[in-house]
Structure 1
């Protein structure tokens, strides 16, 4: 599959001459490359064939291809006020026809994994094989989103951040009890309940409960994302108490028998 060459050319067509817009495009281009690496890493420890690993890698690089036309038209990465970037990405790939040499079944796997990678819940209509790739890309995506925020966004001066990345949430010292409760309850928080930047950080921590592969949990722990995320939140007892809850959960998942959650 010549998807790497196509992807590079496609992204370059959205480059800007002004720094503000170009910074947002570069953020997603670098993210796509890192998700490709995460996806390959997870896939190599799970799949038995090179073709399966290559398919997973393709999904990793292409999963956010809808972000580029989304930003070009709406100047935002917030799906709720623009367009579903997963569905748009699948449309772009289908229209570009870059998978013509693939079997219909393999093409459907890639397109559906891209289409639903950002869904709040996994759709029930997909084949078991497709669901494996879908769970894998959701893990690989989260791992690099945590990198983006803990190593770049939260460490930067707020005026130097890519403008679209925080989705417009206000910066305050507060956080919502409803979002905090979701973390302690080991449940996914909802974006609709997020009121401020700290809520958004807590929501990202609940993504840990949506990871699927043992290797994903290992990478999360190895990269110390839990401490890095919690360290950016207010220094309160209830916030600091999250550290052990999350670390204990990760340890339990890493030590389970199978490589994927059922």
Structure 2
């Protein structure tokens, strides 16, 4: 986690205890090229992570410390859903006439069953891409997701090839089957990929463009030793018209 000018997030543990996380403060986004310090936390399943702006806790007639204690009291209840937590916080702190913008996000941690994830180590060798594609196809068939096998293989081929070409060190591929299908490619480079449009005579440069066309969403997140490029695809619909689960 990193903090860009906003108050520290609140962590609500499953027992209802509340902690305001001690994250180093960074400048607001867009105010220059200063680096951000990051912190890593292990959160138990069922925790709530509460993100908010200072407009929620600060008023002209109420200082921030009082607002933080009111927020702590509103969150100190175990067993709530994120929606219930949002409602309780807004009922307790939302002024009748806000003088500042207010944003509030509550996210709950959960753990996927072991059978809903798969990962592979990939040697930094282009000849390994075909083997990974075959392994991914077998896993998708096991998950009864053959309808998205071709698209998923194409996405991963492009991402793995990019990692082999531009990164050094170990490469790892992971699939997550949740409410959508998530593909992740880990490498040791901290350079973020950029989408560009190849000209008609260019021999390369189309990989990430193809990924963006076939995936519903994609992005990059950084780790302590590199980065992860991830994509998200909708699950195919069952006969009842609902995503397969």
Q: TM-score, normalised by structure 1?
A: 0.24
Q: Which has the higher strand share?
A: 2
Q: TM-score, normalised by structure 2?
A: 0.25
Q: Which has the higher helix share?
A: 1
